[in-house]
Amino acid sequence: MPLRLRGKKKAKSKETAGLVEGEPTGAGGGSLSASRAPARRLVFHAQLAHGSATGRVEGFSSIQELYAQIAGAFEISPSEILYCTLNTPKIDMERLLGGQLGLEDFIFAHVKGIKKEVNVYKSEDSLGLTITDNGVGYAFIKRIKDGGVIDSVKTICVGDHIESINGENIVGWRHYDVAKKLKELKKEELFTMKLIEPKKAFEIEPRSKAGKSSGEKIGCGRATLRLRSKGPATVEEMPSETKAKAIEKIDDVLELYMGIRDIDLATTMFEAGKDKVNPDEFAVALDETLGDFAFPDEFVFDVWGVIGDAKRGL
């Protein structure tokens, strides 16, 4: 069953707010289910991760609009922002901003830093890395496996944005397209990647390698703002423990059939199927949401079974 990837249209940005010197950073965790429209205009605070004053951002409904507001607050181009972390300026892949933003979360924007070009010898079929993306066209390295091919190239780090592979510009690609491209590279041959690492403050920290692949907590405790590609943002409760476990199981099915672990892709698949009533509707939803994966029927039925169990509270 071939699936077609459809890129999401970028939302128009709204006017930004000014800088606020010396405001304290907030902290918070998070948790999702029944949604309701925001009753008031929500204001969030942000800083550049390598150091800056504090900016105020508000009135956004998508990642594109949020990046535009952050860029306006700090007088930079939105294209300079690689990704954001919540409540820490560190390159912490467990704190990445995704589709949910806690109402008390403090946003740190990581911007483009040093460019580098690396040659990698693909000695194994698996390179030992996990790719994710920021939702607006920048794919970057989320995890590096100990002892893997990429781990042997010490200039490649978690958080690096992949700009091109063998001279082909991949800006605008989703993370699963980039992973597919890397997987299709021939074994026992050299390939070249152009990378951009996030700009760092003066402190030097050890190279980070990972984050958990499947035991990640998706939230517990308070309301969040859910950002959408279409329509207004909504305030929601964070995902239930049942949903979190279902996403972990889908991640296990991905590894069994596809040889990959990708919690972001597993979450996307859960969201595509949670309101469907049968596997045929789910297959159509996958076709509309994802693409360039020839998911076998057995895979679709197994994932549907996980979603069905979650809906029944099993």
Q: Which of 142-151, 201-210, 249-258, 282-291 has the highest mean pLDDT?
A: 142-151
Q: Which of 111, 310, 107 is nearest to 227 (CA)?
A: 107
Assigned CATH for 43-198: 2.30.42.10
Sign of CA dihedral 214, 216, 217, 218: negative
Helices 297-311/279-289 angle, 10° precision: 110
- What are the beta bridge partners of residue 139? 133
Distance of CA 161 to the CA centre of its chain: 12
Task: Give SS3 for 121.
Answer: strand
Question: Residue 87 pLDDT more than 80?
Answer: yes
- Mean pLDDT calculated for residue range 116-138: 92
Ordered DSSP codes for 142-167: EEE-TTSTGGG-TT--TT-EEEEETT
Residue 158 near residue 131, CB atoms below 8 Å: no
Model pTM score? 0.62
**Measured distance CA(246)–CA(265) in Å, rounded:** 13
Q: Which residue has the higher pLDDT, 188 or 314?
A: 188
Helices 263-273/297-311 angle, 10° precision: 70
Summarize pLDDT for 172-216 with one digit per residue, the tens.
Answer: 999 989 999 999 999 999 999 999 999 987 544 444 444 433 333
Q: Locate 215 and state its tokens.
A: 């035991």
Contacts (Cβ under 8 Å, ≥6 apart) of 305 = none
Which backbone phi and psi does 47 adopt, to 5 degrees?
A: -140, 160
Residue where the block lists tokens 């306006």: 72
Tell me the pLDDT band of 264, cut-offs 50, 70 and 90: confident
Q: Which of 152, 149, 157 is nearest to 122 (CA)?
A: 149
Q: Locate 69 and state its tokens.
A: 């507001």
Q: Which segment of 125-129, 173-177, 296-300 scores lowest on mean pLDDT?
A: 296-300
**Measured distance CA(238)–CA(240) in Å, rounded:** 7
**Measured distance CA(188)–CA(193) in Å, rounded:** 16
Please count the other Cβ atoms lying within 10 Å of the Cβ belonging to residue 75.
9
Specify the pLDDT at position 298. 82
What stretches of 188-268 adopt beta strand conformation (E)? 190-198, 223-226, 234-238
Domain extents in the chain: 43-198, 239-313
> Buried b vs exposed e over 167-179: b needs ≥16 C-beta within 10 Å?
eeebeebbbbbbb
- What are the beta bridge partners of residue 144? 129
**Measured distance CA(11)–CA(232) in Å, rounded:** 11
Specify the pLDDT at position 234. 67
Question: Residue 13 pLDDT more than 90?
Answer: no
**Measured distance CA(72)–CA(59) in Å, rounded:** 13
Task: Give SS3 for 70.
Answer: helix
Half-sphere exposure of 180 (CA within 13 A, CB side): 12
